[in-house]
Amino acid sequence: MWVADLSRVDDSICRLLNEAELERARRIVGERERIAWRRSRASLRELLARYVGVDARSLQIDAEAGGKPVLRGRRVPHFNVSHSRDVAVYALATNPVGVDVELMRGAGAPRRRDHVALARRAFGAPVAEGLAELDQGTREREFLRLWTRHEAALKLAGRGIGAGLDHVSADAWIGELDLGSAVVAAVASARPVGLPRAWRLA
């Protein structure tokens, strides 16, 4: 596991991106989101290159049917990446893996999410009712804890973001990462691995 503060990543790292990646970045609406995606993707290239032992620009990163990234022509490492605003989390493993990260918005956010309504759609009425009984701060963190575990499991399976609970394997091992009070993150693996340590890239 690796964690990066994308606000501290030098933009010169984006020289590692190929033209297709740069074009994808240009299509992202919002300058901050565009910069974060470029830095996250370039950091992924740099990180994978350390493990594989080749020049970062020579790596061919493909996407499977559900959007899961894979290295062309290589069975390992398996990897996955997620970023929320300026925080990026990377998981690398010898077996399939998925990861998700979300930053808490807090009570002062300009557009507060209705976590109870979101939970009802994603997880069902019993979970939503349980969240409704919590105070606002606790409710947001608990919702994001459930959400990141769900999304990490979906990404492990190579399913699209937001797929239903029926796409999550009951056999998936899911661990939660301690990245601070404002960050909620989870990693899913095809087999139990124990809670991994997250190293910091930047």
Indicate if the pLDDT at residue 144 is higher than 80. Answer: yes
Give the span between the Cα atoms of 102 and 147, in whole angstroms.
9
More confident residue, 134 or 168: 134
Separation CA 26–CA 191 (nearest Å): 37
Task: Give the residue from 156, 152, 130 showing the smallest Cα distance to 143.
Answer: 130
| β-bridge mates for residue 78, sequence order | 93
Which tens digits make up the pLDDT trace of 46-85?
Answer: 999 999 999 999 999 998 877 889 999 888 899 999 999 9
How many CA atoms lie less than 13 Å away from 17 in the CB half-sphere?
20
* pLDDT class of 161 with cuts at 50, 70, 90: low
What is the percent of the chain where pLDDT is above 70? Answer: 89
pTM: 0.88
CATH class entry, domain 2-200: alpha beta
Task: Measure the CA–CA gap between 46 and 11, rounded to whole angstroms.
Answer: 13
